[in-house]
Amino acid sequence: MVSFCKMRECLILLAVAALVGAADLPPSCEKPVYCNSNLLHEVQMARIFNDSKTFVDLQMKFNESKTLGDFQILMNDTNQNPSRAQLEQFVTDYFSNEGELEDWKPSDHSDNPAFLATIKDEELREFGKGINDIWPLLARKIKAEVLEKPDQYSLVPLTHGFIIPGGRFKEIYYWDSFWIIEGLLISGMQETAKGMIENLIELLVKFGHIPNGSRWYYQERSQPPMLTAMVAIYYQYTQDLEFVRNNIGYLETEMAFWQNERAVTVEKDGVNHTLFRYYSVSDGPRPESYFEDYNNTIGFSDEERTDFYIDTKSAAESGWDFSTRWFLVPGGSNNGTITDIHTRYIIPVDLNAILAGAFQQIAVFNAVLLNLSKSYEFAALASDLRNSIEAVLWNKEDSMWYDYNTRDNLHRKYFYSSNVAPLWQNAVSSTFLMANGPKIVSSLEQSGGLDFPGGVPTSLIRSGEQWDFPNVWPPEVSIVVNALANIGTDEAKTLSLEVAQTFVRSCHWGFLQYKQMFEKYDAENPGQFGGGGEYNVQFGFGWSNGAILEFLHKYGSELTASDNNVNGSSSTTISPDGKRRCGKRRSALADDEKKKERKRFLWRTSR
């Protein structure tokens, strides 16, 4: 049985980590051209490309030894100070952007999948068909050249065809893949979904964990561990028990990585609890955001710079890169900037919920496979983690889970869409749910996070970071919708439908206007894409497609594209121009406007 580290061992590890200098840390990956070299530094700091990711996605024309050797000659010939023009010429001579991928048509794609017939509203049925038609546009396979000369690419070669997120993201991304796989399964593309999972398992075998994405420069960091959930939803649609039997060992391997590398002991009310955090330890800036990370550390001491790089990569491991969720200033507030990032001190609600759900699902799989001792083992892990989530992350006064700040021993009492993740992952007991379900619904409604016509924002704080207000991220809307549905009360189910209705309408308006799905949306302006962060909004978009297909599949008989299509069944209303919500959700909210004004005041003053 894989065990968590004991409290004393964890404290020793934390103390050692705090003393480790940059020279003692591993590089971001084993390929210096893309992760840890003068070449990387000089090219990225010269800003040869506006997007730092562009350079590390290029392929080398020659092998690594020649590339680095010839660059050193250039450095020596220029007294270690090459001009921008010389660097541009070197990149032109030694790198290529011909691409590592080729278009691929999945054989299981249908122009008219069965789920469309379940969508009552004709406009939304057409919308669902439009999204289904996007899958072949995002389908890729690795070119033969990458398999022949893998050392000359930052892309990790994989066996099966896959769906990319879209835009600048031309590789598999870990947690994106859950919503992509769900969307594929709804579209009847079981073989493509299976291949996606098998690719992720190949990455797990290669690295010992599933990296952020299928690039070498993501080697030392992972993302929310959704592999078990992917296998579970695949099994739900296919009943392919043999696939589960063949791969359950890999699910257990991934759990061992998180238990051994990301577990911490948290003392609360005199009791020690084992919980998990994001903590990616490697040297230097993120290669794909090298310029941005390096510039943010100007004026830092060596220790501060090392800590910043670790905390930045750890936030990237969370998938929430970046947000005030990871900002921590003296006193425990999130009222800071990117230079106040301290991810290591924050115990995230969603990560722990995901792991609790994974432990429980692995227990169920083992029970089905008659591996009873393993089933008991993982059921105990799930139970222990659920208890720790309740003991440390649940705030009884607010009837909500919050991230926990271990530096100041405080709940992070802010609205983040991730707060309800334990409900999404069924990481709560039925007794707890019966006692607290209605209170959670009330807490959510009072938060103000559900009051926007463009969907549920990740936070209520305008920080300029892309995982803060007003941005709406489709996977987070999915989390909220499913969390509410899992409460089980009529009120919660109604609210779940309304949240889905609002976001589907928003994305539908955007699709009609732009003929595109976006990576993120604007909570205040339905159908408009979000902004902020380190790069421009991306089109595509894998997880957006999957989330909308999920809602159309789940609520297809009830959702409507507009109020003109309503036959008295929907109380969620958006004006024809999609700009605002009109009316109230329920008569019980007669004092809605007063509440909203109070919430608006809180939004303005929360920072």
Read off the amino acid at residue 493: K
Question: Which DSSP letter does residue 448 get?
Answer: S
- Cα separation, 116 vs 598, in Å, equals 42
Which residues fall within 8 angstroms of residue 148, CB to CB, at 6 or more apart? none
Spatial CA neighbour of 61 closest among 159, 166, 145: 145
Q: Which of 42, 100, 321, 445 is catalytic?
A: 321
| Cβ count near 393 (within 10 Å) | 26
Asked if residues 604 and 461 have their Cβ atoms less than 8 Å apart, the reply is no
Cis peptide before 378 (omega within 30 of 0): no
Distances (CA, A) of 222 to 211, 255, 591: 4, 12, 45
Asked if residues 201 and 181 have their Cβ atoms less than 8 Å apart, the reply is no
**Burial status of residue 108 (CB atoms within 10 A of its CB: 0-12, 13-18, 19 or more):** middle
Cis peptide before 322 (omega within 30 of 0): yes
- Cα separation, 73 vs 79, in Å, equals 10
Residue 179 corresponds to which tokens in the numbers above?
């919503």
Asked if residues 224 and 184 have their Cβ atoms less than 8 Å apart, the reply is no
- 519 as an active site residue: the answer is yes
| Cβ count near 205 (within 10 Å) | 11
Query: Which residues are registered as beta bridge partners of 274?
Result: 265
Asked if residues 563 and 555 have their Cβ atoms less than 8 Å apart, the reply is no
- Cα separation, 442 vs 420, in Å, equals 13
Residue 459 corresponds to which tokens in the numbers above?
């936070």
DSSP codes, 159-219: SS-EE--BTTB-S-BTTHHHHHHHHHHHTT-HHHHHHHHHHHHHHHHHHSS--SBSBGGGT
Asked if residues 226 and 174 have their Cβ atoms less than 8 Å apart, the reply is yes
Asked if residues 558 and 569 have their Cβ atoms less than 8 Å apart, the reply is yes
Per-residue buried b or exposed e for 40-68, using 16+ beta carbons within 10 Å of the residue's own CB: bebbbbbebbeebbebbbbbbeeeeeebb
Residue 588 corresponds to which tokens in the numbers above?
């019980």
- 307 as an active site residue: the answer is no
| Cβ count near 129 (within 10 Å) | 14
Residue 208 corresponds to which tokens in the numbers above?
């010992």
Q: Which of 42, 465, 519, 534 is catalytic?
A: 519
| Cβ count near 373 (within 10 Å) | 8
Asked if residues 189 and 180 have their Cβ atoms less than 8 Å apart, the reply is no
Residue 177 corresponds to which tokens in the numbers above?
């893949």
Catalytic residues: 321, 519
